[in-house]
């Protein structure tokens, strides 16, 4: 092998010229990546102009709605925690129309309409869940007889069941809270005849078949048991007539007393039977958020 061949690291060819790969490297030009079409960048979402030059400053609207002082509301805006009509807002000079704007803070709807009122009532036993009864039975209207607003009731209860019912003059809120598609959870304390086994919760969570279709609970908890009776807590978003009573009747533990303790985020608390309280703006906002408003 000639010195030239040894330097090139290849074998001599018939013509005396080295062939093969050079020592320590690859022959030929480096491979280039195949040309791939660039993915189109998604078009930016259009920015909605929420500023209303004839409106009210956003921080004043928030302060009036009970979100804190104007300075505190300015901090909410500057930190990006406020949206107007779905658009994040950070500018302190934004003005909005309180009668039209949809405002959320930390994802919770802010109630701006001062004419809207929502009331929690602890319905007593023996009262029907209507504003008027053709049979002359006591109705929930007697507990709000001093209100001038036209109120819609949310959360029907049978006459023998007591607990929380909501009344509001916001028709859209009432419809949304009542419709099962929005999945507003209702929680009950049920006194049952008989000692329930621990396995009952699993059956109810999986679902029970009733004559008008299956039903399953969202949560189930045994609060207390004796050899003769049980106290349980059950949550579900069903709205069918007497659904809790029919559910426990089906599994062999008839209800002897029933109290609804909450509708969505609104709890009965220590409200006495026959008494009412006006919900705070924060509570109404949380209800509107759960109802998708």
Output the tens digit of pLDDT for each of the chain's 293 residues.
444 544 444 444 444 444 444 444 444 455 555 566 556 555 444 456 788 888 899 999 998 888 889 899 999 999 999 999 889 999 888 899 988 889 999 988 888 888 889 999 999 999 999 988 899 899 999 999 998 888 988 878 999 999 999 999 988 888 888 877 777 899 999 999 999 999 999 999 999 999 989 999 999 999 999 999 999 999 998 878 899 999 999 999 999 999 999 999 999 999 999 999 999 888 888 888 888 87
- The confidence score (pLDDT) of residue 128 equals 94
Give the Å distances, CA to CA, from 198 to 78, 97, 220, 223, 236: 51, 55, 10, 11, 19
Find the radius of gyration of the CA atoms of the chain.
Answer: 34
Tell me the two tokens of residue 258: 């029933």
- Which of 52, 54, 85, 158 is flagged as catalytic? 158
How far is the C-alpha of 230 from the C-alpha of 197, rounded, in Å?
10
- The confidence score (pLDDT) of residue 57 equals 92
Residue 253 CB contacts under 8 Å (≥ 6 apart), including other chains:
192, 193, 194, 196, 200, 230
> What is the length of the chain?
293
Give the Å distances, CA to CA, from 215 to 99, 174, 192, 195, 209: 40, 23, 18, 22, 6
Give the Å distances, CA to CA, from 68 to 73, 93, 108, 130, 283: 6, 18, 15, 37, 15
- The confidence score (pLDDT) of residue 32 equals 52
**Residue-range domains of the chain with CATH:** 56-109 (3.10.290.10), 118-181+269-290 (3.30.70.580), 185-263 (3.30.2350.10)
Task: Dihedral sign for Cα 198, 199, 201, 204, please.
Answer: negative
Residue 21 CB contacts under 8 Å (≥ 6 apart), including other chains:
9, 10, 27
Task: Let me know: does 196 contact 232? Beta carbons within 8 Å.
Answer: yes
Give the Å distances, CA to CA, from 159 to 127, 153, 258, 260: 5, 15, 11, 13
- The confidence score (pLDDT) of residue 40 equals 58
158 tagged catalytic? yes
């Amino acid at each position: 092998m000639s010195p030239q061949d040894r330097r090139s690291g290849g074998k001599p060819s018939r013509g005396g010229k080295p062939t093969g790969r050079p020592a320590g490297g690859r022959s030929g030009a480096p491979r280039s990546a195949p040309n791939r079409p660039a993915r189109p960048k998604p078009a930016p979402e259009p920015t909605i102009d929420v500023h209303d030059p004839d409106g009210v400053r956003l921080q004043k609207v928030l302060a009036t709605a009970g979100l804190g002082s104007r300075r505190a509301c300015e901090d909410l805006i500057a930190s990006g925690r406020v949206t107007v009509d779905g658009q994040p807002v950070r500018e302190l000079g934004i003005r909005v129309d309180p009668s039209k704007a949809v405002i959320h803070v930390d994802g919770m709807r802010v109630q701006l309409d001062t004419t809207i009122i929502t009331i929690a009532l602890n319905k007593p036993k023996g009262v029907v869940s209507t504003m008027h009864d053709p049979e002359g039975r006591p109705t929930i209207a007697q507990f709000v007889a001093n209100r001038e607003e036209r109120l819609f009731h949310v959360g029907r209860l049978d006459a023998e069941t007591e607990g929380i019912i909501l009344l509001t003059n916001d028709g859209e809120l009432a419809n949304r809270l009542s419709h099962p598609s929005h999945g507003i959870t209702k929680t009950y304390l049920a006194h049952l005849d008989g000692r329930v086994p621990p396995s009952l919760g699993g059956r109810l969570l999986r679902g029970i078949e009733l004559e008008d279709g299956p039903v399953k609970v969202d949560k189930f908890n045994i609060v207390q048991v004796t050899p003769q009776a049980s106290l349980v807590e059950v949550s579900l978003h069903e709205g069918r007539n007497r659904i809790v009573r029919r559910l426990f009747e089906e599994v062999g533990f008839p209800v002897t007393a029933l109290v609804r303790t909450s509708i969505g985020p609104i709890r009965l608390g220590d409200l006495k039977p026959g008494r009412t309280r006006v919900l705070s703006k924060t509570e109404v906002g949380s209800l509107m958020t759960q109802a998708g408003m």
